Amino acid sequence: MSLSDALAAAQERGLDLVEVSPNASPPVCRIMDFGKYKYQQSKKAAEAKKKTARVELKEVKMRPKTEEHDFQVKVRNARRFLEAGHKVKLTIMFRGREVTHPEFGQKLLRRVAEEIADIGQVEGRPNMQGRFMSMIIAPSKK
C-alpha cells in the first residue's frame, strides 16, 4: 500500500499510522491508536519492574565482647533477613584498645557464619576498615 493510501486509511478510521520496522524493505507500518499503545507499553514496563526482586543489604552490628544472649538475638535477626532474601552485612565495632585484637572479631564472625550456614553463604572473608570489621553473607540458592 502506498504511503498516501495508508495515511488516508488511518485518518478515515481516526487512528495513527505508526512505522513498526523502518529497516525492512519496504518499511512496515501499522494503523493503531498510538496513545493507547504507549499507555499499554508503560503498564507492561511497570508490571515487569514490580515483579523484579530487590535485594537490600541489611546490617547487623556487634562488639567483640558481645554476650551469649545478645549474640543469639543478632544471629536470629541475621537469619530473619536472609530468609526474606536480603544480604546481611555483619559488622564488628571495636572501641579503644580492642582494635589491637582483631582475632576476637574474626572468631565472632566465623561463629555467626557457622550458625547460619544452612541458609546463608559467606561472600567474602572478614575485612578491616578502620575500627570496623565486616563480612557480607548472601542467602543460599534454593
In the chain, list all ranges with CATH 3.10.20.80: 3-51
pTM of the model: 0.62
* pLDDT at residue number 132: 94
Residue keyed to cell 493507547: 36
CATH of domain 57-139: 3.30.110.10
* Low-confidence residues of the chain: pLDDT under 70: 142
CA–CA dist 47, 107 (Å, integer): 45
* pLDDT at residue number 75: 95
* pLDDT at residue number 142: 62
Task: Give the number of other Cβ atoms within 10 Å of residue 75's Cβ.
Answer: 18
Q: Which of the following CATH numbers is that of domain 3-51: 3.10.20.80, 3.40.50.720, 4.10.520.10, 2.40.160.10?
A: 3.10.20.80
* pLDDT at residue number 48: 86
Residue ranges of alpha helices (H) inside 14-67 are 34-51
CA–CA dist 142, 138 (Å, integer): 12
